């Protein structure tokens, strides 16, 4: 009725209630909006840290990656969650194909206190962005990849990362929602190609 997209309404709520520069409070405020106002697919709620959230935090703590790639920024919720778990000097590259969502995500990321030196938001389809990550954005190899974009693109983009030699030795690839709504071809490839040790973690839907 207002003509304002719900992602923008969520950001307006963040501006009014979140503490700038405090990523945990930004995420908690996002959760309050999604629980009580409008649902957004913001990956994993932090009110009661989900199993998926614990997996991410554990992997970041164990691996201490210096170069992280996120495919599917949406409103920046997962980006903030990833960025707050990184060590000083680490860099996160996040790719979003929808310019309207990217505009909101940019504001959310900066509101949480992460500058462009730590988090670079790249607007464009993953199919177009991945081949130029090294030349245009300076990402030689990723230590940690988080996939949460179109499920039908998971396998294609994994193969692109492989063919452009963008995966560091021992890199972690974390893909959300491979069972529901599902990415069966990606899952089959990861299990059978012989390049990866594959583990499926079961988690609940957000909110």
Owner of token pair 């491979």? 178
**91 beta partners:** 67
Which one, of 36, 123, 128, 117, lies nearest residue 76 by Cα?
123
Give the DSSP letter of residue 144.
Answer: E
Residue 47 tokens, joined: 């009110």
Cβ atoms of 182 and 151 within 8 Å: the answer is yes
- Give the C-alpha separation, 15 to 64, whole Å: 31
Answer yes or no: are the C-beta atoms of 72 and 149 closer than 8 Å.
Answer: yes
Q: Is 38 one of the annotated active-site residues of the chain?
A: no
Catalytic residue among 106, 143, 148, 157: 148
Residue with tokens 């452009």: 164
Q: Mark whether 22 is an active-site residue.
A: no
Residue 98 is among the residues annotated as catalytic for this protein: no
In the set 128, 151, 157, 191, the catalytic residue is 151
Check if the beta carbon of residue 143 is closer than 8 Å to that of residue 171. Answer: yes
Catalytic residue check, 177: yes
Residue 96 designated active-site: no
Pair of tokens at residue 49:
């840290």
Q: Which residues are catalytic?
A: 148, 151, 176-177, 206
């Amino acid at each position: 009725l207002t003509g304002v997209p719900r992602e923008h309404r969520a950001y307006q709520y963040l501006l009014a209630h979140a503490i700038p520069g405090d990523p945990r409070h930004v995420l908690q405020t996002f959760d309050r909006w999604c629980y009580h106002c409008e649902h957004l697919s913001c990956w994993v709620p932090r009110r009661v840290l989900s199993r998926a959230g614990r997996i991410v935090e554990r992997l970041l703590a164990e691996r201490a990656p210096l170069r992280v790639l996120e495919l599917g920024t949406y409103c920046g919720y997962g980006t903030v969650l990833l960025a707050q778990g990184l060590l000083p000097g680490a860099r996160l590259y996040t790719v979003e194909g929808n310019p309207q969502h990217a505009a909101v995500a940019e504001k959310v990321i900066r509101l949480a206190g992460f500058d462009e030196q730590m988090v670079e938001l790249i607007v464009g389809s993953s199919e177009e962005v991945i081949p130029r990550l090294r030349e245009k954005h300076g990402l030689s190899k990723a230590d940690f990849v988080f996939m949460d974009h179109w499920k039908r693109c998971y396998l294609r983009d994994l193969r692109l990362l492989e063919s452009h030699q963008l995966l560091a030795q021992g890199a972690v690839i974390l893909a959300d929602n491979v069972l529901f709504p599902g990415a069966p071809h990606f899952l089959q490839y990861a299990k059978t190609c012989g390049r990866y040790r594959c583990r499926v973690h079961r988690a609940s839907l957000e909110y």
